[in-house]
């Protein structure tokens, strides 16, 4: 993945089973369980993301695109220096899938950050 590419789109849902059925029937997406509350989806050769069970839809939006960066640890101070704010600190995803964090850009939108290494 190249820095700046959208690499993952996470969709929050209060009904994992119904959302999964809908997205599969509507768009032909395929799913793989990554745990009881998170299913990874594929929407074609170059698109995919996660379907995440939440108790209530997030007030600031239920869709979060993740952008590739070289290092999440290095990207967070850069984001704040440019006027953004960190909404989720760096955390390890697990299963060797890398690291993520989330920021709010000037204007209010949220973006996730992802890198294979910290």
| Average pLDDT rounded to a whole number, residues 75-102 | 95
pLDDT at 45 over 90: no
| pLDDT at res. 8 | 94
| Average pLDDT rounded to a whole number, residues 76-98 | 94
The separation between CA 40 and the C-alpha centre of its own chain, rounded to angstroms, equals: 11
pLDDT at 31 over 90: yes
Assess if residue 3 is contained within a domain: no
CATH code of the domain covering residue 45 = 3.10.180.10
| pLDDT at res. 61 | 81
Assess if residue 63 is contained within a domain: no
pLDDT at 59 over 80: yes
Which residue in the block uniquely carries the two structure tokens 């969709």?
Answer: 11
Cβ pair 112, 61 in contact under 8 A: no
Which residue in the block uniquely carries the two structure tokens 């509350």?
Answer: 37
pLDDT single digits (tens) 8-18: 999 999 999 99
Q: How many domains does the chain have?
A: 2
Contacts of 34 (CB under 8 A, 6+ apart): 40, 50, 95
């Amino acid at each position: 993945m190249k820095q700046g590419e959208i690499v993952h789109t996470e969709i929050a849902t209060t009904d994992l089973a119904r959302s999964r059925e809908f997205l599969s029937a509507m768009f032909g997406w395929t799913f793989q369980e990554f745990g009881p509350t998170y299913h990874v989806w594929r929407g074609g050769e170059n698109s995919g993301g996660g379907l995440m069970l939440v108790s209530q839809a997030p007030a600031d939006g239920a869709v979060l695109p993740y952008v590739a960066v070289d290092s999440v640890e290095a990207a967070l101070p850069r984001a704040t220096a440019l006027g953004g704010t960190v909404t989720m600190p760096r955390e390890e995803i697990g299963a060797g899938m890398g690291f993520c964090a989330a920021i709010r850009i000037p204007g209010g939108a949220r973006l996730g950050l992802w890198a294979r290494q910290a």
